[in-house]
Amino acid sequence: RKEVEQDPGPFNVPEGATVAFNCTYSNSASQSFFWYRQDCRKEPKLLMSVYSSGNEDGRFTAQLNRASQYISLLIRDSKLSDSATYLCVVRRPSGGYNKLIFGAGTRLAVHP
């Protein structure tokens, strides 16, 4: 079982739709949580951190449920430019430093 699990998708949605991605993690020592965005054949870029109280950045809302070890990302009013792969990432201690563990990503395709 992967330490960070995501539905690979693809999620095909029309412009303006609301779409939600889920992620689960298995290691309870995980301390910090993030969503990264990766465009096709490009490097991942940090989209947003995820806080226990939930946080919002424009059209993007991230939520964390530590008890269930579950993270979500909600995108409202989808734009064509939101088409990308969204990576769920957790950070946990490993051998004296903090390590990032990446999910395989959920692919989003927004169509006109």
Partner 1 sequence: SQTIHQWPATLVQPVGSPLSLECTVEGTSNPNLYWYRQAAGRGLQLLFYSVGIGQISSEVPQNLSASRPQDRQFILSSKKLLLSDSGFYLCAWSVGGAETQYFGPGTRLLVL
Q: Which is nearer to partner 1, 19 or 47 (CB)?
A: 47
Q: How far is the C-alpha of 32 from the C-alpha of 52, rounded, in Å?
A: 9
Strand extents, DSSP E, the chain: 4-6, 11-14, 19-25, 32-38, 44-50, 55-57, 60-65, 70-75, 84-94, 97-102, 106-111
| Contacts to partner 1 from residues 72-101, by CB under 8 A | 87, 91, 95, 97-101
Tell me: does residue 103 bind partner 1 (CB under 8 A): yes
Q: What is the nearest approach in angstroms of partner 1 to the Cβ of residue 15?
A: 27
Q: What is the nearest approach in angstroms of partner 1 to the Cβ of residue 87?
A: 7
